[in-house]
Amino acid sequence: MEPKHEEAPEDEQRAGLRERRRRETQRELSDAALDLFEERGVHGTTVDDIARRAGTSQRTFFRYFPTKEAAVFASADDSARVVDDAIEAVRGGASIVEGIERGWLRLLDHLDEHPDEHLRTLRVRRVVGSEPSLLALALCNEAEQVEQLMQAAVQATDRETDMVAVRAAVSTLALILRLTFDEWARRAELNERASIRRIYSETRRGVAAIARDLEGEPRRVG
């Protein structure tokens, strides 16, 4: 009898094909949602509309997204992986800053290497900025990621951890990332091509300079 492990490469290949098709379907649904939100707005779009535009069914849609609003955030999968990588790094002994930045910088490098994604990123930002329900979901997603990272940082350190310092570190890094994309989008709208990774470094240095000014006790006024 042939050992079962010899079938593993074929199993892995099939699994890889399934994952690729899963991501393709997810992206098709997300692109359909983005197109329709731009054309009709969120309230003027239904899940059936999105499914039909993507050439699939409502049942398939709900295998990938819980709501129509969530569909526009197809990159949430990538963000979730970044968070998972950061949590693993922190639990493996990396500092809070190093662990979080390790995952985020990989994401920024990926975007710099795939400029075809830039236009879609801008489109998503525009529709999110114009639709309160999408903006609320985006902020909720960010808050959840910050909370996950903070809990990972706490668990990876001892009980004497300064919770205020941990929350400040994680929140500050999230702020730097948000400011990075804000600045990148501002330049992109002006047709100025710029590296997202480089903007992140510039923003990080600016925030670090402010942090140095905050060292010590605040001065009394008056």
6 secondary structure, DSSP code = G
Radius of gyration of the chain (CA): 21
Q: What are the residue ranges in the chain where pLDDT is below 70?
A: 1-8, 11-12, 15, 75-80, 156-161, 216, 219-222
Taking the C-alpha atoms of residue 70 and residue 128, their distance in angstroms, rounded to an integer, is 11
Residue whose C-alpha is closest to residue 188's, from 134, 125, 128, 135: 125
pTM for this model (two decimals):
0.76
Please write the tens of the pLDDT for every residue from 96-121: 788 888 888 888 898 899 888 888 88
Please give the pLDDT value at position 203: 95
